[in-house]
Structure 1
Amino acid sequence: MSNPIFVALDTPILDNALELAKSVEGHVGGLKLGLEFFCANGHHGVHEIQKIGLPIFLDLKLHDIPNTVAKAMQAINVLEPAIVTVHASGGRAMMEDAKAAAGINTKVVGVTLLTSLDQRDMTSIGYNGSPHDQVERLANLSAEAGLDGIVCSGNEVGAAHKVWKDGYFVVPGLRPANGKAGDQKRTVTPRAARDDGASVLVIGRPITAAENPNSAARSIEATL
């Protein structure tokens, strides 16, 4: 992929998503549509965004029993997404069924640990070990289940890349130098994540909330 940036169109309003996508399409490599967009606009909304002509990343973070996740994956195959997310914590059987049900050209990646969580959050929900330990554990499980790769923060992507050389690594929660972290707790710059082995750089508010999204996207692209 010549441009690894997928801009996160995290809005339930289709017209806003279309306007944002069109304003930055020359400086990004793909478009990420999250749960709020999909719940509001469904298949129709995805079809409309696809008309722009960039690869679509459906960030649905599927997490349920294996049979349900497989059927959900089958239901979105008609959309031919480039990437779909499932929660790696759903277990090996769930991930195996998700991958088996996915379209041949769709990469299925396992979400390891949300970038909004830190050590304190992990402890409060009963996870033992550090964020690094959790990502490594679920990266290994994702590989064993036959997924294409994982979603992890830029803090862990380097270590994950070392042990999974041909893995596909999606890194969200990125912030340009001197950018505001917002609700993200484990951030790095897009360039640092790319240097450490990220395949896809998911960037939202630093582009979409900028006064000039096109200029912001162009500036970030220039750092890569």
Structure 2
Amino acid sequence: MNNHNPIIALDFATKAEVLHFLEPFNEKLFVKVGMELYFQEGPSIVTDLKERGHDVFLDLKLHDIPNTVKSAMKGLASLGADVVNVHAAGGLRMMESAIEGLEAGTPAGRTRPLIIGVTQLTSTSEQQMQEEQNIQTSLHDSVLHYAAISKQAGLDGVVCSVLEAASIKNECGHEFLRVTPGIRLNEGQGHDQIRIATPEVARLEGSSLIVVGRAITQSNHAVETYHLVKQQWEGY
């Protein structure tokens, strides 16, 4: 996968809504299928999007005992998604098991999907993390810690906010992916995200890939908005 386009979060409930949204686009896209869509439509939504030529980030954030995650990843590997993820909080052994499952389930002749670890959700504030997760450190240090153990486990990168991207790049290297959601245009709203940034700031701060949802999917001119995001992301 060499697609560094903005990833569009397909935050829809049904395949019909997805197809209606995608209809005006006349180009290969990089899209994200999350829990809402996957749980409503099942694995076929991934295979259908791949058959239409799009790259797919399957965002299910697996977090369970190592053997369960290994078995789940073995099944997901056959769908053809380009990127999958787990919660880094599941621990080193769980993440290693996830890779084992992906490698076992990837059909012969294919490259296994990239796998990234979710650090702290971009909807999480430092106060919330400390009070509800009882992690008594800074949010920034928590994210860096999760990034470090994700790299140790052999993952290809992490999901983080733009605010931590540069530090992770410095600590884990350029090739270790920093996938950053919470991307908004200047006039966009934060919605339920707290740690947000514009595409331009994400580029300057060292994000590898950006995920953009409602700024595009709820736009009255989705194709034009997508290309505006893409222009800011690419710096022209």
TM bucket, shorter chain: over 0.9
Partner of 1:59: 59
- Pick aligned residue for 1:150 from 155, 158, 166: 158
Partner of 2:71: 71
Partner of 1:186: 195
RMSD: 1.4
User: 1:43-70 CA deviation, whole Å, 9 max, x = no partner?
Assistant: 1222222232011100000000000001
Cα distance in 2, alignment partners of residues 25 and 88 from structure 1: 36
Aligned residues: 223
User: Alpha carbons of 1:215 and 1:122: their partners in 2 closer, same or farther (altered >3 Å)?
Assistant: same
Partner of 1:9: 10
Q: TM-score, normalised by structure 1?
A: 0.95
Give the gaps of 5 or more residues in structure 2. Answer: none
After the TM superposition, which residues 118-157 of structure 1 pair with which residues of structure 2 at under 5 Å, given as runs?
118-125=125-132, 126-157=134-165
1:105 deviates by 2.9
1:2 deviates by 5.4
User: 1:18-61 CA deviation, whole Å, 9 max, x = no partner?
Assistant: 222343453x7401000111100111222222232011100000
Matched, 1:115 2:116: no
Give the gaps of 5 or more residues in structure 1. Answer: none
Asked whether the 8 Å contact 2:119–2:158 carries over to 1, the reply is yes
Cα distance in 2, alignment partners of residues 83 and 138 from structure 1: 18
Tell me the percent identity.
35
User: 1:79-137 CA deviation, whole Å, 9 max, x = no partner?
Assistant: 11110010000000000010121133310000000000001211221121111011000
Cα distance in 2, alignment partners of residues 169 and 97 from structure 1: 21
Partner of 1:161: 169
Mean CA deviation greater in 85-94 or 9-18 = 9-18
Asked whether the 8 Å contact 1:9–1:21 carries over to 2, the reply is no
Q: Structure 2 counterpart of 1:15, which letter? A: A
Matched, 1:208 2:211: no
Asked whether the 8 Å contact 1:33–1:57 carries over to 2, the reply is yes
Cα distance in 2, alignment partners of residues 211 and 135 from structure 1: 35
Partner of 1:177: 186
Q: Structure 1 counterpart of 2:215, which letter? A: P
Asked whether the 8 Å contact 1:161–1:196 carries over to 2, the reply is no
Cα distance in 2, alignment partners of residues 140 and 39 from structure 1: 31
Partner of 2:94: 94
